[in-house]
Chain A
């Protein structure tokens, strides 16, 4: 097995696909990746090379789970939605095949300094890294609660896992096919009150993260979010995946999601300066969305940009 890299940080390695399974409309892959598994922490991601005609770039996926025991020396899990040539190829890959995987990349979620109750909010397949985080938080003695939302049941990843892990697990779907009919933001304040959570972790569409962060800020609850942005390299060199972040003294600067994030304290993100500033989210049919070419940008006369945002944003980036 070829492994390239240093003794710390990310490595590039050839990984065998150990298992592939369905989660509703998503696919879960388990990859034999001992070096990545040993170095990984929740919130980090991997960049997976795909072999599909005409593709060039890797596809980024949150690490959805890590196992260090078992028959292979260490595995990682990823969850993907097949919606373009790259993810289509990954969704049909057979166990036993090999993938070139780079990781773990990015900054992980910070862990609470003392034992607290936590609320983990996941939207669509943004729930994937929250299950991994939940396991680590529980192992650290923290109380774990989940609030998982999606457009429909088909986009709720493996609901048994959060139910089993959590003190409390709530679900929302926009079509009402599972749990509360609506969005995670409908239940967030109530769930914070009922669980007594002192910290919120969230991953999902950026519009959801902006809304979750705003509610947490109003209620004075610290919130860590894992954001998504189109990225080419995943290691900090291409400068494509930037997001406006507030620094000290009120300055706002473009920071790279891949290497400065993807996890940020929600109050640092200047959503109003980003293309995710549209206050009226609209739902988009995921079936029409490609896996590397999805954007919705409307240029405005002053040269600034806004995006129509969708409630569930299926794309390769988490």
Chain B
């Protein structure tokens, strides 16, 4: 194992500021020491980033989505940069739930990281089976149900585009994992996201994660060729942060303060974290920013406390949902 960090980077954690968050909702306590987590699919196994810094500093590691069988994913190119963002179509490349539970979860737990699984599948039955397998691990503290991977063979597989199918998957996972905190990961590619959030919570989700990437496309003007092999691809990065803020605000307004929300979408700075928390996020995930700077999440963990302290706040949770009403607030 590599030696502890000896060099500088970020501010020291601040005493006296309560950064802890409880994601347990009505299902009992699930307290994280800080609100910064990884966005699924942006952290691989954890070992890669742990080669740079101690992943136990995170509030939790949300792992890359796992499926029943290993998947090789989509052809390359899988990525292209877009204005203040990027498109990706990976196709859920993953080692399969068995390998992940046997190999990666124990390693993360031994490093002191809190592990949140992310599960995906093509059918309700897939989700049920993966959930059961994840449930055999005593080290997984919560499960994110990926209802919204955009890079699948047809839109019908994006379960979160419809409240009814999203709820059906969540019911199946809840039946397989009766006591596990469950987060349904939602897509912004819907006309109204709040009813989908309502449906998954009524189906047994502890909370929601929002937002997944939004479906995009890029075409080379000269050649007429698509820039990502899959054609359509998920847009992420600062370009989508306003969509995330809006979606989280709508979900928080619909679901109320007792339903935890893991917010994500284009977060790079402490101000971005606070913006999502003010919109209604309980915890905040860092995704694409890690690709640009693999130290981003640690920097946020280390600098959030001093940001709050300088402004006279004693905890992050007091800012949750704190937005001044505006004249035409619906």
Q: Which residues of A contact B (CB under 8 A)?
A: 2-12, 49, 54-58, 100, 102, 229-233, 235-243, 253-254, 259, 274-275, 288, 292-293, 295-299, 304-305
Kindly identify which residue among B44, B52, B80, B225 contacts A230, using a CB–CB cutoff of 8 Å.
Answer: B80
- Least distance between B75 CB and chain A CB atoms (Å): 4
Chain B residues in 8 Å Cβ range of A295: 77, 80, 220, 225, 227-229
Given the known inter-chain contacts A11-B7, A49-B292, please indicate yes or no for A253 contacting B72, CB distance below 8 A.
yes
B86 and A56 contacting across the interface, CB-CB below 8 Å: yes
CA distance A100 to B296 in the complex (A): 13
Chain A residues in 8 Å Cβ range of B84: 54, 56
A237 and B294 contacting across the interface, CB-CB below 8 Å: yes
Given the known inter-chain contacts A6-B53, A293-B218, A296-B223, please indicate yes or no for A230 contacting B2, CB distance below 8 A.
no
Kindly identify which residue among A5, A241, A253 contacts B5, using a CB–CB cutoff of 8 Å.
Answer: A5
Known: A7-B2, A235-B52, A296-B225. 14 other contacts (CB 8 A): A5-B5, A5-B53, A12-B293, A102-B294, A230-B76, A230-B78, A235-B51, A239-B90, A240-B76, A240-B77, A240-B88, A241-B78, A293-B80, A297-B225
CA distance A247 to B238 in the complex (A): 38
B73 and A49 contacting across the interface, CB-CB below 8 Å: no
CA distance A12 to B293 in the complex (A): 9
Task: Type the 1/0 row for B209-250, where 1 means its CB is closer than 8 Å to any CB of A.
Answer: 000000000101011011111010000011000000000000
CA distance A127 to B262 in the complex (A): 47
Task: Type the 1/0 row for B2-27, where 1 means its CB is closer than 8 Å to any CB of A.
Answer: 11111111000000000000000000
CA distance A11 to B291 in the complex (A): 15
Chain B residues in 8 Å Cβ range of A56: 81, 84-86, 237-238, 288, 292
Question: Does B127 interact with chain A (Cβ within 8 Å)?
Answer: no
- Least distance between B96 CB and chain A CB atoms (Å): 12
Most buried by A among B48, B90, B237, B290: B48
Chain A residues in 8 Å Cβ range of B9: 2-4, 12
28 A–B contacts, CB within 8 A, in A order: A3-B8, A3-B9, A4-B7, A4-B8, A8-B2, A10-B52, A12-B295, A49-B292, A56-B237, A56-B292, A57-B292, A232-B79, A232-B291, A233-B292, A233-B294, A235-B49, A235-B51, A237-B49, A238-B42, A238-B88, A240-B76, A240-B77, A240-B79, A242-B76, A254-B93, A293-B81, A299-B226, A305-B229
Given the known inter-chain contacts A6-B3, A56-B84, A240-B88, please indicate yes or no for A275 contacting B76, CB distance below 8 A.
yes
CA distance A299 to B224 in the complex (A): 12
For A274, the closest partner residue in chain B by CB is: B76
CA distance A8 to B52 in the complex (A): 9
Chain B residues in 8 Å Cβ range of A296: 223, 225
B51 and A237 contacting across the interface, CB-CB below 8 Å: no
For B223, the closest partner residue in chain A by CB is: A296
A5 and B52 contacting across the interface, CB-CB below 8 Å: yes
CA distance A73 to B134 in the complex (A): 50
Chain B residues in 8 Å Cβ range of A241: 76, 78
Kindly identify which residue among B6, B72, B90, B226 contacts A297, using a CB–CB cutoff of 8 Å.
Answer: B226
Chain A residues in 8 Å Cβ range of B290: 233, 237
